[in-house]
Amino acid sequence: MRLGVIAPGGVDPVQMSQFEFIFVLVSIVLGLALTRLLDGLSHVLQSKLRRQPIDLAHLGFSVAVVILLVIVWWALFRWKDELAWNFSKYLVIVVHMASFYALSAILYPERGAAVPNFETIRTGFYVVMATNSVLEMLHTYILGSLFTPWYYLPVTIHLTALCFVGLIVKRRRVDLFISWWFVVVFALWPLCARYTIESG
């Protein structure tokens, strides 16, 4: 099925694929999340310039979510050749992408407001982050690439497990470690995935 859009002048219709149609909504949701995160990070940097203390765990998770969001947004292009679309696939993708906006809203509740200490948002953040990881695995399973590359599943499961560790332990040092470990993993992920593709 293809969706027809009338071109200027009403002559030849421009065809829009189902992927392109769905990608418009996904891009809006992710764009809003990314905007909120970058706006929040700019507020954090301004606080640093004013020599105000910065919550390093909160900063780490903010950077990690930005990196992950950009990676996932790019990876969505894997759906471009999908022809057998149904509502279940659509729903999984939309809910998965919506979880990024939820993470951005938890990290930065109100535009221009003071950045919350991570301890005050710990439970909500870890729950949504773990949910995001589960949705990521479900998303990848539907694509048929849950075991490609081979390290994808172990890495994603261990990130999900770390969210539960943070929920249970509730220690600042643990939060700090997990946040910057996420940054390292998400930053290295595109390099590892690229190497795997090129070497294959």
Taking the chain, what is the end-to-end CA distance rounded to the nearest angstrom? 33
What would the pLDDT profile of 79-130 be if each residue is shown by its tens digit?
A: 887 778 888 888 999 999 999 999 999 999 976 567 889 999 999 999 999 9
Asked if omega into 190 is within 30° of 0 (cis), the reply is no
Write out pLDDT tens, residues 9-24. Answer: 554 455 778 888 888 9
Binning pLDDT at 50, 70 and 90, where does residue 195 land? Answer: low
Q: Give how many domains the chain has, as a whole number.
A: 1
* pLDDT tier at 58, thresholds 50, 70, 90: very high
* Domain that residue 66 falls in: 3-199
Q: How far apart, in whole angstroms, are the C-alpha atoms of residue 24 and residue 32?
A: 12
**Cα–Cα dist 102/24, whole Å:** 19
Average pLDDT, the chain: 85
- pTM to 2 decimal places: 0.85
